[in-house]
Amino acid sequence: MRILSLVAFVLANLSSFTGWGQIQSGELPPSYLNRSEKNNAQSYTVQLADPNVTAEIAEDAITDQHKDIAWRFGALLPVNYTLSNSGEWKHDDDEGISTWKLKLSFQNAQSINLNFNQFQLSSTAKLFVYNDDFSDILGAITFKNNKKDRLFSIRPIKGSAITIELIVPQNELEQNTVSCNQVIYGYRSIHDKVQKVFQGSGNCNINVNCEEGKNWQDVKRAVAMVTTVNNTRFCTATLINNVRQDTTPYILGAAHCVLRSNSIFIFGYESALCSPNTDGVLSNSISGSGRKAITINFGSDFELRVLSSSPPAGYNVYYAGWNNQNIASTKSVGIHHPTGDVKKISVDNDILTNSAYYAPGVTHWQVSNWEKGTTEGGSSGSALFDANQRIIGQLHGGDASCSNKLQDYYGKFSYSWSTSSDTLRQLKYWLDPDNTGALVLNGLDPNPAPFKADLNLLDIDGIPEFECTQSVQATFRVKNIGNNTVDSFYVDYALNANPVQSIRYANGANRQQIVTFITPNLIPANGRNVLVVSAKTAGLKDQNLTNNTDSIVFNINTGTSDYLYLSFKSDDYGSETSWQLEDFNTNSILYTSPNYPDVNSGVLYTDSLCVYNGCFRFSIFDAIGDGFNDPTNAFGNGYLLITNRLSDTLFFENNFTSSLSADTFCLRNVSSISERRLEANAIIAFPNPIGAGEVLRLNSVNNFSLTLRNVQGQLVSQNSGNQFNVPENLTSGVYFLKISELKSNRILDIKKVLIQ
């Protein structure tokens, strides 16, 4: 078979792999020097009618919610443009040069890209593609982009019109073949995001050049935005290292992305700044790849391909490392292109969970929720990295978004490694071709580092932002990002300005190697704590001290702890519901919900959350957007109640019919000014307990909308004012008084009322 012969060829030539792709010389087209010529383009212009994309837009509104469907930006139009049947030739006999131009113009296109079914350039021919104002230029494309299958594609060029310009020596005219069979009309723009701040994708997405990405600046260079499905959709893929470390351009993505031999891989598309958002460059692109391995019937949903060309040095790429052990990471990071946006980073600080795709199993890692950032359509196929910056999976799909904190599913790298004995269905055959048995592999940076000796303190891990405990342990990770091996080094740490402690590492660290340190038990103070950590070389002087030191601030309750008591009754679809508790002042996420199952008639769950005196924001999320209270009772009804140790109601929700419900509350004995201000505004209902038929009063002269419900959420009585007449026929028990603004109906408080 042809694919087997190709496998044999690649294995025999891995150490000298070369190829050609969408490589550009960086030149400007001749027409750029005579830009007035574009006004005379009528003779070679084809005016195309904008396609009706109403159906596509309606479909996108549905499929955009599913990451296992690649994010679509364009509609494919069949065409037939060749050097002989389209465009215009001009011949300069004095210079011996011939020029062919074809302009394709729409009325409202956001971008245009092309697929060629026949593409072959002679040794000195040059092809350019550009838009009307020359703000987006591709070229020069040369014979280095010729491929055996004679297919070629170009990335999206922004604008509603593009010009193809071919410059050929007249003695090579017969050696050139250019046939375009497909035009992609871009009806959704990836370029207008520059006008927004984190709005091209969801507003919780984080640019990779923000603080969260400061220690991922080498790894991010492995991540590429990919056009899929005949270059009408976007996914994400990641360059990956192999045990031979010979820069064979293997790239890992997702099977469901439907990558093709003419897919385009775009590196380095990112905002130069954290904020404001700036548009990235799309010039670092490779056209074409060949499949090496893919899962059957999804499984772990991986696909491994090899690019048609090794990325040039100017692309400044990185080959990511990997871990093929089935060990759940305690901290994970995703780097990706949501909705084709500039590169983003997401952080999960919780241990991963074994799963299948939306089912129990072992084929996937489940990210229960993202502490920072999220993923969206277009993120599909992107790698999940462990705390040691090694690939452990690729994104299959999930429900996480900026509007909810639910799960994402990543096909396990360990499952894809060698579960199948078929070499075309596994990663091991390609990434460990000599069968060395490697379990982990560090990343490979083919470019020289800026410094000979450079230690990077990656993170301080293992200590949550808040904990009820008597002692803690910290984990430090140090990465050698310098050119030279570091023979030995120290990690110094100090808790709350106590004497500095040191841990020495004397085994030597090669370039890109990460070393992990774990401290003995540390005894924190009650309340706020500060841990400062620094990495120091023992011999060769560190030439870059800007990345050696870091610190974290965390809160510890070592004394008698306050607790919140949570009761949650789910509806039939518990998996749609999640919640989180944040510190009101710092926005630190203290607790997140477990993953609730789908159970007919729902289940009552209880939990106790150790907290401290302060003010908090509690939020409930629903992935589908219909909450857990159904007026028709078609899928059951739920509620969520939070009380303190005095049985005061702090949060109650039994009318949740949207994607988000949130409120703020405080515990007593607060100390900070902002906390006192919140507490001072609290509404008090008295007397409580109260007898049936008596008057419940509020400590306010304002009038409110008042609603009384029983514990099942059924309406008992309602009125407006600043007092409430308790019905005489009420049986004793617990009831809930909802206090809302009279005009806006905004909920101000919910009081638990005990009827004697």
pLDDT in tens, 435-477: 999 999 999 999 999 999 999 999 898 888 788 888 999 999 9
Token digits for 362?
A: 């072992």
Q: Can you give the pLDDT at residue 9?
A: 31
Does position 147 have pLDDT exceeding 90, yes or no? Answer: no
Q: Can you give the pLDDT at residue 676?
A: 38
- The reply to whether 44 and 183 lie within a common domain is yes
Q: Can you give the pLDDT at residue 407?
A: 87
239 inside domain: yes
> Dihedrals φ, ψ of 244, to 5°?
-70, -20
Does position 175 have pLDDT exceeding 50, yes or no? Answer: yes
635 inside domain: yes
Instruction: Provide the phi-psi class of 17: left if phi over 0, else alpha when psi is between -120 and 50, else beta.
Output: beta
CB-hemisphere CA count at 13 Å for 103? 18
Q: Can you give the pLDDT at residue 526?
A: 82
Closest CA to 623 of 580, 661, 659: 659
What percentage of the chain has pLDDT greater than the value 70? 91
- The reply to whether 596 and 469 lie within a common domain is no
Domain of 485 in residue numbering reads as 455-556
10 inside domain: yes
Domain CATH code at residue 494: 2.60.40.10
Domains: count for the chain:
4
What is the set of active-site residues?
A: 256, 301, 380
374-378, 559-563, 707-711, 748-752: least confidently modelled range: 559-563
515 inside domain: yes
Residue 222 CA to chain centroid, in angstroms?
Answer: 15
Does position 673 have pLDDT exceeding 60, yes or no? Answer: no
Mean per-residue pLDDT for 338-361? 93
Q: Can you give the pLDDT at residue 702?
A: 82
Does position 719 have pLDDT exceeding 50, yes or no? Answer: yes
Does position 566 have pLDDT exceeding 80, yes or no? Answer: yes
Q: For 314-347, give the secondary structure using H, E and C.
A: HHCCCEEEEECCCCCCCCEEEEECHHHCCCEEEE
- The reply to whether 619 and 543 lie within a common domain is no
Q: Can you give the pLDDT at residue 711?
A: 65
* Amino acid (1-letter code) at residue 668: R
Predicted TM-score of the model (pTM): 0.75
Mean per-residue pLDDT for 705-712? 81
Token digits for 527?
A: 């309340």
Does position 663 have pLDDT exceeding 60, yes or no? Answer: yes
447 inside domain: no
Does position 396 have pLDDT exceeding 90, yes or no? Answer: yes
- The reply to whether 720 and 653 lie within a common domain is no
Q: Can you give the pLDDT at residue 470?
A: 86
Which of 495, 522, 556 lies at the terminal end of a domain, its last residue? 556
Compute the 3-state secondary structure of the chain and give helix, strand, coil in percent, each to the nearest 5. 15, 40, 45
Contact indicator for 370, 347 with CB cutoff of 8 Å: yes
Which of 379, 403, 437 lies at the terminal end of a domain, its last residue? 437
Does position 497 have pLDDT exceeding 60, yes or no? Answer: yes
Distances (CA, A) of 278 to 88, 214, 221, 269, 364: 37, 18, 18, 10, 34
Which of 680, 697, 730 lies at the terminal end of a domain, its last residue? 680
- The reply to whether 605 and 723 lie within a common domain is no
Whether the bond between 687 and the residue before it is cis, its omega within 30 degrees of 0, is yes
450 inside domain: no
Res. 540 pLDDT band, cuts 50 70 90? confident
- The reply to whether 497 and 350 lie within a common domain is no
Q: Can you give the pLDDT at residue 22?
A: 54
Res. 405 pLDDT band, cuts 50 70 90? low
Domain CATH code at residue 424: 2.40.10.120
443 inside domain: no
208-217, 264-273, 640-649, 741-750: least confidently modelled range: 741-750
Q: Can you give the pLDDT at residue 7?
A: 33
Does position 41 have pLDDT exceeding 90, yes or no? Answer: no
442 inside domain: no
- The reply to whether 537 and 650 lie within a common domain is no
Q: Can you give the pLDDT at residue 668?
A: 60
Does position 10 have pLDDT exceeding 50, yes or no? Answer: no
**pLDDT by residue (tens digit) across 217-229?**
999 999 999 999 8
Q: Can you give the pLDDT at residue 26?
A: 67
Count of residues making up the chain: 756
- The reply to whether 409 and 496 lie within a common domain is no
- The reply to whether 550 and 620 lie within a common domain is no
- The reply to whether 385 and 252 lie within a common domain is yes
Q: Can you give the pLDDT at residue 152?
A: 92
- The reply to whether 656 and 633 lie within a common domain is yes
Domain CATH code at residue 734: 2.60.40.1930
Q: Can you give the pLDDT at residue 244?
A: 98
Res. 8 pLDDT band, cuts 50 70 90? very low
- The reply to whether 121 and 221 lie within a common domain is yes
Give first-to-last CA distance, the chain, whole Å: 84
**pLDDT by residue (tens digit) across 94-137?**
989 999 999 999 999 999 999 999 999 999 999 999 999 998 89
Q: Can you give the pLDDT at residue 714?
A: 76
Q: Can you give the pLDDT at residue 300?
A: 95
Mean per-residue pLDDT for 157-180? 95
606 beta partners: 567
Does position 19 have pLDDT exceeding 60, yes or no? Answer: no
